[in-house]
């Protein structure tokens, strides 16, 4: 296949036998599914057998990068890691096929330049190894000196010393011990996170991947491509909000966005939280920022605590908000301590959000007498930093019944506690399909992105998937509509979705998801969509210039819809239905804060949502998608309309109610 | 005369300079085919852009064996050392001699390449997102530094008086 933007090959590596195979990327796949997670899902349909256990050698790792990756397109830095995820699950033990996404400073570029658009890693190595890919040379190297001995950072540093100029993905103890929310770390500071991708690497005895490539990305019409890229870069470089992000990371919008989107503290007023973690405190903890390749935002934050008992403590994170949320939920007044907590999760290689949430719940349970010392190795679980850190050790080491339960996710922990976290842990953000969403929907209010996070996304509660204008609170309808137009919505859909003073949240969700499908397929960071700079219109023009395949915004968006339907069908085949899309009970209990009640509401904070309201949102969403409202499964007609009829076999013949 | 000044503290490792350089010279995006490279120090957490400094006594010129006229010459306007494609025999002695690896072999085109300051409008500087690369006059930069130094001294004097 020879389409500019694509490298044209897929690499298959078998960790068990060491065998490798290179196959051409099918031109039809590039045209139908664009690349990145689109083609990852197409591969997954053939390669992930239904109902295979996530930790089985038969569950492959599918890495993919879209056609924009490797170019100067702003934010074209995303790698997609698809597999059956150990954390995303239904109560009855089904696991979802989903994708962790990550940018990076170097790995992403080096991957693309190897000449492979996708890499499939199958089987399981008998002994710990790391995978080295140097252009065409693929090698499995003994990792006996790293496994069980070196943490995430040490592994990355040792391997980058050993293999100069490479990019690296590494796991730590959490991945080795199959903690279900173990992450894999890309170039040290970026994450394939939350759903347990690191544990999948661990289950394969794969400690790390190093990659280097020498081949460049060709452009069909270079001048036309740069005519799109240059104005975008100018916007990103000159915009004052972007300048603030460059200065302090995403904390820049603390007052405008984050304190409103995350606030559900039971003890602190907003002002108190701001005193500990607000924008004024950033200089006390900030060391530096790193950027993904081709990104003018440079938002990855490195911390260095400047004073106090944790002075000298360093950590790296997507942003300081993680520390602020850990602080508010665990009532840690000292940001230094929260940064210490984050650092520990990094060194072990586990999701800080899931970890802090479990630590929060289990210490609450202990305080409330729900669990006792007999269940906690005789240790008094107080609500203090030392206890929180100790619990992280237990998770990474799988120490005792509690350590194991915490390592095995919310269902196992619920069983251990004897309560159902999705119902009884009301302070949780929203535990959906076995994992917690980053945004607390009661504080952040429901908008398309939050609907995706807590209901419709097969991945379950997760990091923001599908940024749009509504990532920021209370944007006027006009601004939301302008953004919606840019996602390539038709006049008819716009008419159905927007009124003078509001929008249909459920209907807009589909379009935001489909646009997100395009971002992830092309390899572009969706954070830009919050600003509206990179939208489907712009992407369509750039895609046409890059590949030489003339594509209209409407066509591009349709491809996004096709990808999202394939993603859904993959998980329908695993047995997921409407039942799993229902939101968790806990979020319907309001949280009492010193600033009043936080309840589940619409984006404009005017209407409270009950469980029934959310079910109605789902009705509309399915109907709008052309899916069966009763089961939440794409209909045969819809699949045919999208050219996906070959996957209709995945629809259960006796549709379950 | 302007020169390419690197502010090492500001680089965040986004590689946009190298992407822009490769695109400008080869019409493809490939940081391996660029006259500027970002070298990362993962343990320390910083990034160092490496690019030709256009030495005043260039060793690349010294070692160039082409006669009677060397295959590398200084551009009068920009001060950049430029490889004469017609004269260059591709011996790679300049690659061996340069202490920072500025010249490089472009295997695809069988050419020795190096930074030519893009005729006085360097693409890497235009595409630097973080203010790490500047194309500035040496004397102005010197005076700027001296003013900054003087300012610091003035603060000390202020305290003493």
- Residue B74: the pLDDT is 98
Measured in whole angstroms, how far is the alpha carbon of residue A322 from the centre of its chain? 14
3-class state of residue A282 by DSSP: helix
> d(Cα B23, Cα A12) in Å, to the nearest integer?
30
On the 0-12 / 13-18 / 19+ scale of CB atoms within 10 A, A272 is: middle
Q: Give me the phi and psi of A553, to 5 degrees please.
A: -55, -40
Chain B residue with CA closest to A153: the answer is B43
Note whether A321 and A250 are within 8 A (CB). yes
Give the tens place of pLDDT for each residue, A402-448.
999 999 999 999 999 999 999 999 999 999 999 999 999 999 999 99
Closest-CA residue of A relative to B22 is A216
Q: Is-contact A85 A96, C-beta < 8 A?
A: yes
Distance CA(B76)–CA(B80), nearest Å, equals 8
Q: To the nearest 10°, the Cα dihedral for B13, B17, B19, B20?
A: 160
* Phi, psi values for residue A628, rounded to 5°: -70, 125
Q: Dihedral (C-alpha) A236, A238, A242, A248: value to the nearest 10 degrees?
A: 130
Q: Do B30 and A214 touch (CB under 8 A)?
A: yes
Q: What ipTM was assigned to the predicted interfaces of this complex? A: 0.96
Give me the count of residues in chain B.
Answer: 161
Instruction: Collect all residues of chain A within an 8 Å Cβ-Cβ radius of residue B42.
Output: 156-157, 160, 187-188
Which pairing describes strands A206-212 and A129-134: parallel, antiparallel, or unpaired?
A: parallel
Q: What is the pLDDT along chain B (161 residues), one digit of tens a residue?
A: 999 999 999 999 999 999 999 999 999 999 999 999 999 998 888 899 999 999 999 999 999 999 999 999 999 999 999 999 999 999 999 999 999 999 999 999 999 999 999 999 999 999 999 999 999 999 999 999 999 999 999 999 999 87
| The pLDDT value given to residue A533 | 84
Q: Which residues of A touch B26 (CB under 8 A)?
A: 216
Smallest Cα distance from B48 to chain A, Å = 13
Q: Which region, left, alpha or beta, applies to residue B21 given φ > 0 means left and ψ of -120 to 50 means alpha?
A: alpha
**Which one of B21, B30, B37 would you mutate to disrupt binding with A, by most A Cβ within 10 Å of its Cβ?**
B30
Q: Quick check: bond before B68 cis, omega within 30?
A: yes
Q: Can you tell me the distance from the alpha carbon of A607 to that of A553, in angstroms, rounded to the nearest whole number?
A: 34
Is A220's Cβ below 8 Å from some Cβ in B? no
Most distant pair of Cα atoms in chain B: their distance:
66
Per DSSP (E only), the strands in chain B are 2-6, 28-29, 37-41, 46-50, 72-74, 81-83, 104-106, 111-113, 133-137
The answer to whether A578 contacts chain B (CB < 8 Å) is: no
Those residues of chain A that have pLDDT short of 50 are: 655-657
CA distance A191 to A317: 9
Residues A580, A364: Cα–Cα separation, whole Å: 27
A404 near A398, Cβ under 8 Å?
yes
> Which chain A residues are within 8 Å of B14, Cβ to Cβ?
105, 291-296, 298
d(CA B156, CA A636): 79
Distance between CA atoms of residues A179 and A173, nearest Å: 9
Ordered alpha helix ranges (H), A454-504: 477-486, 491-497
Determine which helix (DSSP H) or strand (DSSP E) holds A162, and give its type and residue range: helix A152-162
For chains A and B, count residue pairs whose Cβ atoms are closer than 8 Å: 92
**CB-CB neighbors (< 8 A) of B127 in chain A:** 72, 233
Q: Measuring CA to CA, which residue among A85, A192, A172 is closest to residue A576?
A: A85
Q: Can you tell me whether residue A451 is helix, strand or coil?
A: helix
Query: What is the rounded CA–CA span in Å between residue A93 and residue A51?
Result: 10
- Give me the DSSP letters along A18-83: --EEEEEPPHHHHHHH-SHHHHHHHHHHHHS-TT--TTSTTS-EEEEE-TTTTSSSTT---EEEEE
Q: What is the DSSP letter of B106?
A: E
B29, A296: Cβ pair inside 8 Å? no
Do residues A605 and A474 make contact, with C-beta atoms less than 8 angstroms apart? yes
Q: Determine the distance in angstroms separating the CA of B17 from the nearest CA of chain A, rounded to an integer.
A: 9
Instruction: At A477, list the tokens.
Output: 């309808």
The DSSP output letter for A215 is P
**pLDDT at residue A654 in the model:** 66
Q: What is the tens place of the pLDDT at every residue in A313-353?
A: 999 888 899 999 999 999 999 999 999 999 999 999 999 99
Taking CA atoms, A269 is separated from A260, A280, A332, A604, in Å, by 12, 17, 14, 22
Q: Are A305 and A286 in contact (CB under 8 A)?
A: no
What distance lies between CA A554 and its chain's CA centroid? Answer: 26
- How distant, in Å, are the alpha carbons of A53, A105, A131, A190 from that of A114? 31, 16, 14, 20
């Amino acid at each position: 296949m020879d389409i500019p933007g694509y490298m044209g090959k897929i690499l298959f590596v078998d960790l068990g036998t060491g065998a490798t195979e290179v196959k051409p990327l099918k031109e039809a796949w590039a045209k139908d599914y664009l690349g990145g997670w689109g083609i990852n899902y197409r591969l997954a349909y053939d390669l992930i057998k239904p109902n295979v256990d996530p930790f089985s050698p038969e569950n492959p790792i599918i890495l993919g990068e879209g056609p924009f990756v490797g170019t100067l397109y702003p934010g074209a830095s995303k790698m997609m890691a698809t597999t059956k995820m150990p954390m995303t699950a239904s109560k009855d033990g089904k696991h979802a096929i989903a994708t962790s996404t990550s940018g990076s400073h170097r790995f992403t570029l080096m991957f693309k330049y190897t000449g492979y658009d996708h890499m499939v890693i199958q089987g399981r190595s008998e002994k710990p190894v790391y995978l080295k890919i140097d252009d065409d040379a693929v090698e499995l190297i003994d990792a006996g000196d790293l496994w069980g001995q070196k943490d995430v950072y040490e592994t990355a540093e040792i391997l980058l010393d050993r293999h100069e100029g490479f990019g690296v993905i590494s796991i730590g103890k959490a991945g080795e011990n199959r903690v279900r929310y173990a992450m894999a770390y890309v170039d040290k500071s970026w994450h394939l996170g939350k759903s347990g991708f690191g544990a999948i690497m661990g289950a394969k005895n794969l400690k790390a991947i190093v990659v280097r490539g020498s081949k460049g990305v060709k452009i069909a019409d270079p001048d036309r491509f740069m005519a799109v890229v240059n104005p975008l870069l100018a916007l990103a470089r000159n915009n004052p909000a972007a300048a603030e992000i460059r200065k302090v990371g995403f904390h820049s919008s603390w007052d405008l966005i984050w304190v409103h989107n995350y606030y559900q503290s039971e003890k602190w007023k907003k002002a108190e939280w701001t005193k500990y973690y607000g924008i004024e405190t950033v200089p006390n903890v900030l060391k530096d920022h790193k950027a993904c390749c081709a990104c003018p935002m440079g938002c990855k934050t490195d911390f260095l605590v400047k004073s106090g008992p944790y002075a000298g403590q360093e950590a790296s994170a997507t942003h300081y908000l993680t520390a602020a949320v850990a602080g508010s939920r665990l009532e840690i007044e000292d940001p230094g301590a929260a940064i210490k907590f984050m650092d520990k999760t990094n060194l072990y290689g586990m999701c800080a959000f899931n970890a802090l949430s479990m630590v929060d719940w289990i210490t609450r349970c202990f305080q409330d007498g729900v669990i006792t010392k007999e269940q906690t190795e005789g240790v008094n679980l107080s609500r203090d930093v030392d206890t929180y850190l100790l619990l992280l050790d237990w998770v990474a080491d799988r120490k005792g019944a509690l350590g194991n339960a915490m390592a095995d996710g919310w269902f196992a922990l619920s069983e251990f506690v004897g309560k159902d976290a999705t119902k009884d842990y009301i302070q949780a953000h929203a535990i959906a399909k076995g994992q917690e969403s980053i945004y607390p929907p009661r504080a952040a209010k429901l908008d398309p992105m939050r609907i995706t996070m807590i209901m419709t996304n097969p991945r379950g509660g997760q990091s923001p998937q599908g940024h749009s204008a509504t990532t920021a609170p209370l944007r006027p309808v006009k601004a939301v509509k302008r953004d919606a137009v840019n996602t390539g919505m038709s006049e008819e859909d716009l008419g159905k979705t927007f009124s003078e003073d509001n929008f249909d949240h459920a209907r807009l969700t589909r379009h935001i998801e489909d646009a997100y499908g395009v971002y992830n397929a092309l390899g572009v960071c969706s954070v830009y969509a919050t600003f509206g700079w990179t939208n489907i219109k712009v992407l369509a023009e750039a895609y046409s210039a890059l590949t030489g395949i003339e594509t209209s915004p409407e066509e591009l968006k349709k491809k996004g819809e096709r990808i999202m339907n394939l993603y859904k069908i993959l998980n329908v085949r695993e047995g997921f239905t409407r039942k799993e899309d229902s939101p968790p009970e806990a979020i319907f209990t309001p949280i009492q804060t010193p600033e009043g009640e936080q309840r589940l509401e619409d984006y404009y904070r005017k209407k409270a949502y009950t469980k029934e309201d959310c079910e109605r949102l789902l009705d509309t969403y399915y109907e709008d998608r052309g899916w069966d409202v009763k089961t939440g499964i794409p209909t045969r007609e819809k699949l045919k309309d999208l050219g996906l009829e070959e996957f209709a076999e995945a629809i259960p013949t006796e549709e379950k109610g | 005369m302007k020169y390419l000044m690197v502010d090492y503290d500001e680089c965040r490792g986004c590689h946009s300079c190298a992407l822009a350089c490769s695109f400008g010279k080869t019409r493809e995006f490939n940081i391996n085919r660029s006259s500027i490279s970002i070298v990362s120090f993962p343990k320390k957490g910083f990034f160092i852009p490496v690019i030709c400094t256009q030495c005043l006594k260039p060793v690349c010129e010294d070692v160039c064996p082409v006669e009677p006229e060397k295959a590398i010459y200084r551009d009068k306007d920009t001060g950049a050392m430029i490889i004469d494609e017609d004269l260059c025999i591709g011996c790679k002695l300049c690659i061996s001699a340069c202490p920072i690896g500025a010249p490089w072999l472009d295997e695809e085109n069988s050419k020795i390449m190096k930074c030519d300051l893009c005729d006085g409008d360097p693409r890497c500087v235009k595409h630097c997102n973080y203010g790490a690369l500047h194309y500035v006059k040496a004397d102005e930069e010197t005076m700027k530094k001296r003013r900054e130094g003087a300012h610091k001294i003035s603060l000390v004097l202020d305290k003493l008086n």
